[in-house]
Amino acid sequence: MNSSAVNVLNEAIKGTVAGAAGVWMMDRIGWYMYLREDERALQQELEARPNGMDPAHNIANRVANALGKQLVPPQPNPWGVTAHFALGILPAALYGVLRHRFRELSKAQGFLYGLSLFAMNDELVNPLLKLSGGPRAYPWQAHARGLVEHIVLGMVTDAVLRVMDRELHPPRPQDLTQTVGARSAARS
């Protein structure tokens, strides 16, 4: 494997790790908000869900059905949770690779990444694939929560990637010498 392919693989692996951390934090924020929402809004959201399931559990159910299996309710079940994490980890692997190639991606420190995941997943792809109800079927609180969750996902993913960049690839001694020299020259 050439060094370019190894670098892409390393960046993708870092993205998956960062994405898992992002999903974990997204869930903490999402549940915090969910547990404080108005009962009527929650009921409207639950009624809008196809098969009474969130998109990740609908994905898991479709995969199980394609394999001739049936998922056993209730939510959450391990396969739905796996699908949920995959929905955050897979795009994060791509983000991990692309953020160094397109510097604009990382300038917003994950904000635009999270915003785009929200728009693509929650507002476009999930309804089109009938993994969720249409956007108008949900109360505004569900959209607001989804937006906040995905922005948290993006920003945590980006923050973890930045920490890994710094800790896994510390500056070389000659880089430090150049930095110290540049700082000294700037002070003069």
Question: What is the domain range of residue 116?
Answer: 3-187
Torsion, Cα 65 66 67 73, to 10 degrees, reads: -20
Domain count, the chain: 1
Compute the distance between CA of residue 163 and CA of residue 166 in angstroms, rounded to an integer: 5
pLDDT digits (tens, 9 = 90+) for 140-174: 999 999 999 999 999 999 999 999 999 887 676 66
- % of the chain surpassing 70 pLDDT: 88
Report the interhelical angle of 140-168 vs 3-34 (nearest 10°): 140
For each successive 10 residues of the chain (188 residues), what is the average pLDDT?
84 97 98 96 95 93 91 80 96 95 87 96 96 96 97 98 88 63 62
